[in-house]
Amino acid sequence: MYQYHHRIADRYGRPVVSLAVLADTQLEWRPGAYQEELWGCRLQFEYPVCKLLDWAHPSGELAANPNPAAVVIAAHLAAQATGGDMPERHRLKWELTRRLYERGYARQDILELYRLLDWLLVLPDDLAVAFRRELMNYEQEKIMPYVTSIEQLGRQEGRQEGWQEGRLQALREALLDLVEARFGDPSYALRETIIGLPDESEVKRLLRLAGLARTLEDFTGALPTSN
């Protein structure tokens, strides 16, 4: 945090505010101030911290908040809480998606927020099909064909394979960028492993892990191994 703060201030010559958003699963982990001291020269760097787990309570405060950021936080918490419970994930994804329409957000905002929900709350094939059916019926009922019209366009005969491969490649590149930003330039072997990932859901899982892992070893330990 201090290195980022100092380098940004030095590069742009402007006042900088550093804020830590903690998206991990450890409620008690709250890093404090950074400090160093040598021969009477002392530095202490403090910064505000937002712990997303602090919003994971049943008061309903997050659900009632109209700020679009509340939807993003709720989706992140839902993804963390439902790793082993796909029916519950399906329920929460539907609840959050319906909230996008009921809050009266603009069409483009709904599309962007839905893409994030879809990326965070990945469902197995059977539940994904059921979810799309629910969403299509809901949009027809509301006369608001926002999301499903985009999905249908992307599933036209003859275009699906190329579209999926392009999206997979974009996800691989995003994963490489995130790994480099968090842990430094990846090794050749790690780069080749990421480039060769064949499954979109696996790349999405690793994207979330790259954002949450505390060390590069934590991340690489979760990579799939070849038999």
**Rounded CA separation 54/48 (Å):** 14
Confidence of residue 153 (pLDDT cuts 50, 70, 90): very low
Segments forming the whole domain that contains residue 93: 56-154
Q: In DSSP terms, which residues pair with 45 in a beta bridge?
A: 34
pTM of the entire predicted model: 0.59
Residue 20 lies in a domain: yes
Note whether 136 and 96 are same-domain residues. Answer: yes
Closest C-alpha to 127, from 100, 173, 92, 154: 92
CB atoms within 10 A of CB 7: 11
How many Å apart are CA 132 and CA 78, to the nearest integer?
A: 19
Say whether both 138 and 106 belong to one domain: yes
Last residue of a domain, one of 98, 123, 154: 154
- The residues, any chain, with a CB within 8 Å of residue 122's CB and separated by 6 or more, are 201, 204, 205
Q: What is the pLDDT of residues 12-61, one digit of tens each?
A: 999 999 999 998 888 888 888 999 999 999 999 999 999 998 888 766 77
Domain count, the chain: 3
Rounded-to-integer distance, Cα 102 and Cα 118, Å: 18
For residue 227, give both structure tokens.
């038999």
- Residue 190 domain-assigned (yes or no): yes
- Residues 144 and 169 grouped into a single domain: no
Query: Is residue 97 in a domain?
Result: yes
The letter for the amino acid at 64 is A
Residue 218 CA to residue 198 CA, distance in Å, equals 21
* pLDDT one-digit tens code per residue, 100-152: 888 888 888 888 888 888 888 888 888 888 888 888 888 888 777 666 654 54
Note whether residue 225 is domain-resident: no
Give 38 or 184, the one with higher predicted confidence. 38
SS3 of residue 51 by DSSP? strand
The residue from 128, 154, 180 where one domain ends is 154
